[in-house]
Amino acid sequence: MRPELIIHSAGPGVSVQDLGRPGQISIGLSRGGAADRRALFEAAALLGQPAPLAALEMAGMGGSFEVTTPTRIALTGAPMEARLDGAALAWHASHLLQPGQRLTISGVRAGSYGYLSVAGGLRTEPVMGSRSTHLVAGLGAALESGMTLPLGEDPAPDRPARSLPVADRFSGGTLRYIHGPQTGYFSGETVARFDSAKLIRSATGNRQGVKLETETGPFPPELSGGLASDFIQEGDIQMTGAGLPFVLLCECQTIGGYPRIGTVLPCDLPRIAQAPPGALLRFQAVDLAEADQIMRSDAREIDALAGQTTHLIRDPRLMHDLLSYQLISGVTAGRELEEE
């Protein structure tokens, strides 16, 4: 049997994503890839992959899935309600899926983008060096019910389920940013006001970017008329004509005309991508030396993820079939609640 993922149903924002297509700004193509890249590194750590492989990104809603061969999966990113044949599954964890079992993933409990990774990776046809769907560029398409995706074979389906402690990045918070080529277009007063502002993630947002709202704005530039359009990248905080901030994400355009007050650090992009509508956000300017330091320590953190995974302990409260276990008969080694 060929390893495949059967999609019985899928929400409207389910797509294949890997780390995208870097280095293409000269042809006008933004990197794309997972909106929360860290979630793919977490999945790789849980599944023992040397580097992240293509996975399903689920914006807000998941779907119903089945595999054709035994394969481990990892559930990472925005926590979602997940069940295997009706039994609740832990998030930020890996699990074994057997053919015939039904995995259902419903809405997010926090955050915006959840990820379903499989141990052998999704093996759809790469285009321009990546399997990522980039809807703005017309690469790939959102997935639909009834589709079947090819998978790589799980090299070690017997490897025990793992879990990973994950700090909350799914409910807004502080975003560190650096000033950039256009920060000088804004007055010092406006920049200071921006740095102390409480901003709210609005209901408007997608993989191209998210619009923010504030009661203390707007933040208009001093210099705006006649400015040349110039390069723009994910993380840039652009001010629209009305002076409202819009943070660009992975599928953004590559040249833009609106002035940018700065750029969010790459390691804080998952936090802005995941912030659900209504989440409170603040921006904290850091200087370049500090930003370099933060990025080095983030790289070390990503490298260390695999070492932080632990055996997944099943929570008896989540075991709907608890009474079917023989818990008190005879002498036990006390490991029945571990999923091995």
| 157 versus 185: smaller Cβ distance to other proteins | 185
Report the residue number, 101 or 240, with the smaller CB distance to other proteins. Answer: 240
Cβ at position 256, least distance to other proteins in Å = 7
Single-letter amino acid, residue 189: E
Query: Least Å distance between CB 139 and other proteins?
Result: 6
Considering the complex, state which of residue 25 and residue 200 has its C-beta at the smaller distance from other proteins.
Answer: 25
Distance set, CA 264 to CA 61, 101, 322 (Å): 27, 42, 46
Residue 254 beta carbon to other proteins: minimum distance, rounded to whole angstroms: 4
Instruction: Look up residue 316 and give its two tokens.
Output: 């008896």
110, 263, 242, 254: which is closest to 181 by C-alpha? Answer: 263
Cβ distance to other proteins smaller for residue 127 or 200: 127
Q: Which is nearer to other proteins, 231 or 325 (CB)?
A: 231
Least distance CB 27 / other proteins (angstroms): 4
Closest by CA position to 97, among listed 11, 174, 4, 215:
4
Q: How far is the CB of 288 from other proteins (least distance, A)?
A: 6
Query: Can you tell me the distance from the alpha carbon of 77 to that of 114, in angstroms, rounded to the nearest whole number?
Result: 5
284 in helix, strand or coil? Answer: strand
Distance CA 271, CA 36 (A): 8
Instruction: Give the integer Cα–Cα distance in Å for 177 and 187.
Output: 17
Least Å distance, CB 261 to other proteins, is 9
Judged by the rule CB under 8 A, the positions of this chain that interact with other proteins are: 23-29, 127-128, 136-139, 178-185, 223, 226-231, 233, 235, 253-256, 263, 265-266, 287-288, 291-292, 295
Q: Whose Cβ is closer to other proteins: residue 5's or residue 261's? A: 261
CA distance 111 to 210: 13
C-alpha closest to that of 296 among 264, 266, 263, 262: 266
Nearer Cβ to other proteins (227/318): 227
Smallest gap from residue 124 Cβ to other proteins (A): 14
Q: Which residues contact 49 (CB under 8 A, 6 or more apart)?
A: 43, 119, 121
The two structure tokens encoding residue 216: 């203390």
Least CB distance to other proteins at residue 137 (A): 5
- Residue among 27 and 167 whose Cβ is closer to other proteins: 27
Beta bridge partners of 199: 214, 281
Give Cα separations from 34 to 77, 136, 213, 219 (angstroms).
10, 14, 25, 30
